[in-house]
Structure 1
């Protein structure tokens, strides 16, 4: 895989959000890239090609014209299509505000956004990154404003698509979101919308491309990551907060999902 990378000088003052580099990746059909608990937020625009991605337990097949989001501390694996490999423009975003913005705009669990042409904004990002006449602070200011615009465009696009999600599917998701500290059974969800278990799973999967169980499991791990990163709660207390009564079982599930133990994640 070949990459054209533009490295930017550090801003003149410490920033909670900054962009140290941007680049274009020309994927080879034989390349597989895997990251565990990756320490950077990355947003990409697929210029051409297609392939398979697994991001935080979710599987996608993004292609030309799609946007991909890899939030801070994500686990992911990417493989380009054998006959039509990707060309991907990417923006590397550092600082704690990257994930906070995703949460504020309600897109922290949106990883692949289909058919959202942001090539114009990405071109402006690359033009700014290449402009040697700008000071580091001015360059970072412009780049972070473009990042805000990208986030807003994604949020608007996602909300528009979500308006097409059925009321039943939205009710199921909201119930899971509000009860991350509980272990919700499929029978409880079925009773919520007066459907059979098989119908309930089908309705949820059609709307969100995964089963209710998979969504709830990934939500628990993502919530646990936030507790580990932002609080001093003990591992046992965090396990309880996300619906695990046994600390060791929680640690095993966390490691299976992320590749590291909760203690290792917090240390990183």
Structure 2
């Protein structure tokens, strides 16, 4: 089946959160990340809200207008929260007008759900911790690690806490030599990047950075330049000057912005 294309930022999304498998302190970064891909039109979180451990969620639910769905643990050893989330997801699929789903959990029980939603032509974004089993990660169009979002939030809060006139420390940059060393140690990533450029390049070998990013996610749903220390994919390619050429061109639809193109260097 051909992979459907989606327009980031414009999708109507149903956000379904498994409170049993997500730290409540990460919700700010999670919601900010979701808005990069679309508009959260449905926001629900599932758990047993009678448990004292769930009290930490209260302030976040009010701030982000997330609807809590009560699910009692009727039987020991059975995850009723997962079942409730899956049932709601299928109801939304058939009754509501959304283009995508964001499933926030580190639980492999949602693997079949993600696959089913994609079979119905919906964009599926997964957000979970690095302990998330591989089957769930690969069943999503895109998967984002909570640890990356926590790290970004920590940097932002640190900068916001500085007194006026105090200069924020600049993040350390990877030199091209350092980045090349990383790729030499990881042949899989090296091959992944070069293959992605090849798949979407024109006759001259140049490929648009946005198309490269989409191509990477088709092959590896959890690919994220932030996992390798780069805030943007453009910075990653520019640093790898032993492997790639980069070029900025005027954007066809935005007069003041530049489009970035990448080409593999002969090896």
Superposition TM-score, scaled by structure 2 size: 0.25
Superposition TM-score, scaled by structure 1 size: 0.25
